[in-house]
Structures are given as C-alpha cells and as structure tokens.
Amino acid sequence: MVLYSTILDIKESMSKEAFIELVIEWNQGSPYQENIIPGIKWNGEKSIRFGDDNLWLEIIEYRNKNIIAVRYEKITEDGVIWDTDYIMNFDEMRMAIRLDRSYQERAIVTNAEFSTPHFISLLMQKDYIKPDGELKFERNALSINEDNASILSDIVTGKVKYQLPVVYVSKNIYNKNPLSIDWLCSRLKGTAHVLVQSDKKSNLCIREACGGNNEYNGAIGVYYPNDVLGHKRCVCKDGNEKNLMEKVVSHVLKYSILQTIDKLYTWQGVSNSLLYDRLAAQRKERLEAEQARDKAKNEVNDVYEAVDEELNTLQRQVEELTRTNEIQTYEIQGLRAKLSQADGVPIIMQGEEQEKFPGEIKDMILSVIADELSNVTKGSRREKVLNDVLEANDYEHLLDERKREIKKLFRGYTNMTTGIRQRLTELGFTITEDGKHYKVRYNNDTRFLATISKTASDHRTGENSASTICKEML
C-alpha cells in the first residue's frame, strides 16, 4: 500500500553523482542502526546493489531516458516490507519520492506507523528543491501577518495555484495554534506548504484581504491545486489535537497518493523499461545470429542457445514485473474508490431548488439533522448515524448566523435606515416600496415575500419582521 508519494522540481545544481551520494548519506546517517546497510563503498557506479535479502539498496541507470532509480527495501522480523523509492529524471529535473508498505504471509502487523522520508530534509538542507512559485520548500511554516497577507488571499480566492496543496492554520480564540506546527510540517514535508497565522491581532487585516473567506479561530484550511476539489476546512470540535492532526494529514496524503504519475517515475516502470530495452536488444541480436547461422550454422549454435536462454529469463522477469504493476494499479483504483466513498458520494441527491448562497442547501439539511438529534433516543443507532453525518460534513451553522444577523438588524426597528437596507441587500434580499410598506423578496424570488412597515407601530414591529423573514426564507 502506498503511504507517501510526491514529485518535486529539482535545481540544475544536482548531478547524478550528487544524487547517489545523497541517497547513501541518507542511509548511512540514519539514527536507527537497524536501517543502516553495512559495508557500503560507492566508487561511482550507476548500477549497483548493496545489502542482503532483508535489507538492501539498489541503484539502476536508465540511460535512454537519462533516469537514475533507487530502491531501498527493508523486511522486518514480523514480515512487514518497507519500500522507499527515489526516481530522478535528469532530462526534466524532477524527482519522485514514494514510500510503500506491504506484508508477507507470515506478517502479523497490519497498521504500522510511518515517518516521512528524512531524505526530503536533506534535499532542503542542500537547497536542491526549486521553489513552488512564491513558496519555498522549508522545514518550518511560513508566518502570515499584515505584511504578507496577500499570499494567503491569492490562495483563498483562487488567484494563484501551487504545484502542491497549501495548509493554512489560524490562531484559536486563546491566540494559540490548535495543533503542533512543527509536527505538522514534519509529517507533510514535500507534500504540502504550511502557512500559519502569526498572531490573532492580524485577524482583521487577513480577513479583509481574503474577503472573509479564510479560516479563523483555530480552523485549518487545506487548499488543493485542483479546482474540482476546492478545499477542506478542519475544526477541532472535541479538543483532541491528535484527531485534528490526522484529519489534516489524511486530506493531504490522500490527494498526493492518488495523483496519476508517469510509469517512468516509479521503480517498477523504470525496471520494466530497462528489461524491455534489453529484450529488444536481445531480439535484434538473435535476428543477427539467425542471419549469420544461415552462413555458418556450426559457428553460431552455441551463441543461439545462450541468447534463447537469456530471452526466456528476461521474458519471465518482464511478466513478473507486469503482474506487480497490475496489482498496484488495482490497489490505487481501490484507494480512489474508498476516497470517493469517504468524501465524494452524496447520501441524497439535490433537487431543482437553486442555492441562494454557497452552501445554503447543505447547511439547511444539516440543521434539520441537528434539530432531529434532540428528539431521538440517546445511544440509539439513529443518534449515531445522525451524529456521524454531521461530523463528516462540517456543519458550519451558516443559516443560524444569518438568522442572528437578521434579528440584530431589526432589533429596536423604527424605520428602514440606509445601513439596514444595505446589509439586507448584501445578504441577497431585494427591497421595493409599496405605499406604507416595503416588500422584501429573497434573491428576487417571488415565492418568498415579506411585508415590512416603513415606520414601526410598536416595539414589536422589528421583532415580528425578523421572525417572518427567518421562518419563511431561512
């Protein structure tokens, strides 16, 4: 199962020798003795293997495409197989990094934790990774304040798209981070850019720059490069920092893992291509041998048999690698199906009613579910399902916020002031005059109409008007 996957643009300063030396430095400098392959002595070879069957590092060069591929494999005592791949394409100066976990039949571990490859930190230290637009690849989060709020506003408004997802962490009401920023950066290095609000004092400036659409009060936003996915908003509802961390990391890693990549950015793809090239060369050699055999059969018999034997061996290796590729393809399809089931398949389908503002219909349905929770039996299956739907769909109480604002506007109402009229218009209401009254329509929809007196007849006029609007239109 693929646990981690990313592709990074690399600076021209990295040579083939520097790449291989960095891979060896990564292994030999590991803080875990059991991960170090003893006796590595590299003398400039581009195709070589170190280690034994349970712990090995192999380097292969695919000259036809100017690619060097590296695989590090470790098989633990309990049967877990860890594969780490680094594929460097020197024509395109791009590097694919991939971490995979599988199990032998005897394996008993089914949910082992993993760490992001330290190799990415080495790339950052050596300054080998090209910046992603305005954003550099660094081990620490970028602090967002009044001076650089435009970076966040460009992301929130969709003005700028980056190669990798962007995670924005806002300060909570206590001016603290809702989770450990250092740990978040460590787990997402190479797969996302992390931005963090510098101080709660910058709230007003940042919200103005983002048109009020940014996360705040401890909310975390995950902004994807793909417009179709939009962005995810994560909130710590139960005070459990670990759950919030896992939710954010899961959103990013699912996206990176499920991206379609060229086969030459995978270990199997490079190995397969090398075998096919060797097979083609052997076939050409065989054809030449057959032609030579017609002239001198006795001289080529030994060569012909040797070539046939190598052809059969290569063909078996190609078939084995092809089966491996097919298995991984099915696994990725399964992961995509799970992701779609988790985030994209609606429980009910939307009818023909159009939204009056983004998220209105979803919020209205979730509010009905929330109201129903007060009527169901505690601990029942119905309560569990309804709670699960609310938690999975990020219930934001948008309608409740609008109702509170309507009630606030009409509190102590005496007449239709410019401020009230302007705010009602901003909320989507159309106001027209009709004698001693105003006609208020919701998004100019004639089905939803409220009548409001131009002047208050008593102290309940504003309260009654607000109640009518909330009940019939919100």
* Residue ranges with strand state E in 351-414: none
Q: What is the pLDDT of residue 280?
A: 86
Q: Say yes or no: domain 142-257 is CATH 3.40.30.10.
A: yes
List, in sequence order, every residue forming a beta bridge with 223; answer none if it has no partner: 166, 231
What string of pLDDT tens digits covers the 474 residues of the chain? 888 999 999 999 999 999 999 999 999 999 999 999 998 999 999 899 999 999 999 999 999 999 999 999 999 888 899 999 999 999 999 999 999 998 887 766 555 567 888 999 999 999 999 999 989 998 899 999 999 999 999 999 989 989 999 999 999 999 999 999 999 999 999 999 999 999 988 999 999 999 999 999 999 999 999 877 778 999 987 778 989 999 999 999 988 888 888 999 999 999 999 888 888 888 888 888 888 888 877 666 667 777 788 888 888 888 777 777 766 665 665 555 454 444 444 567 778 888 888 888 888 899 999 889 889 999 899 988 998 888 888 888 989 999 999 999 899 888 889 888 898 998 889 999 888 899 999 988 888 899 998 888 887 888 999 999 999 888
pLDDT value at residue 330: 56
Q: d(Cα 110, Cα 78) in Å, to the nearest integer?
A: 10
At position 221, the amino acid (one-letter code) is G
- DSSP string of 22-83, one letter each residue: HHHHHHHT-S-GGGPPTT----S-SSEEEE-SSEEEEEEEEGGGTEEEEEEEEE-TTSEEEE
At CB < 8 A and 24+ separation, what contacts does 389-396 make? 389/347, 390/366, 391/237, 393/362, 393/366, 394/233, 394/235, 395/363, 395/366, 395/367, 395/370, 396/233, 396/359, 396/363
Count other C-beta atoms under 10 Å from residue 64's C-beta.
9
What tokens does 189 get?
């290095």
Surface-to-core class of residue 388, CB atoms within 10 Å of its CB (0-12 exposed, 13-18 middle, 19+ buried): exposed
The burial class, CB within 10 Å (0-12 / 13-18 / 19+), for 383 is middle
**What count of Cα atoms within 13 Å lies in the side-chain half-sphere of residue 227?**
5
Residue type, 309: E
Structure confidence at residue 66 (pLDDT): 95
Distance from C-alpha of 118 to C-alpha of 97, rounded to nearest angstrom: 11
- HSE of 351 in the Cβ direction (CA atoms, 13 Å)? 3
For residue 166, list its beta bridge partners.
193, 223
Treating both helix axes as pointing N-terminal to C-terminal, what angle do 381-392 and 360-373 enclose, rounded to 10 degrees? 150
Q: How many CA atoms lie within 13 Å of 213's alpha carbon, on the beta-carbon side?
A: 17
Query: What pLDDT does 300 receive?
Result: 64
310-357 pLDDT, tens digit each: 888 888 888 777 777 766 665 665 555 454 444 444 567 778 888 888
Quick: pLDDT tens for 424-456.
Answer: 998 889 999 888 899 999 988 888 899 998 888
- Spacing of C-alpha 130 from chain mean position: 20
* Three-class SS state of 139: coil
Write down the pLDDT at residue 285.
84
Share of the chain above pLDDT 90, in %: 47
Q: How far apart are CA 8 and CA 190, in angstroms?
A: 7
Query: What is the spatial distance between Cα 400 and Cα 392, in angstroms, rounded to a whole number?
Result: 19
Which residues, 6 or more positions from 370, have their beta carbon under 8 angstroms from its beta carbon? 390, 395
Report the Cα 66 to chain-centroid distance in Å.
Answer: 30
Residue reference for tokens 């429980």: 347
How many other β-carbons are positioned within 10 Å of the β-carbon of residue 52?
9
State the amino acid at position 13 in one-letter form: S
Q: Are 307 and 288 in contact (CB under 8 A)?
A: no
E strands present in 125-175 = 142-144, 166-169
pLDDT of residue 108: 63
Per-residue confidence (pLDDT) for residue 308, from 0 to 100: 80
**What is the CB-side half-sphere exposure of residue 43 using CA atoms within 13 A?**
1
The whole-number pLDDT of residue 303 equals 72
Cα separation, 156 vs 131, in Å, equals 20
Token digits for 384?
């569990």
465, two tokens: 């008007």
Class of domain 398-473: alpha beta
187 Cβ neighbours under 8 A, 6+ residues apart = 116, 245, 249
In angstroms, what CA-CA distances link 73 with 289, 329, 380, 420? 39, 20, 48, 67
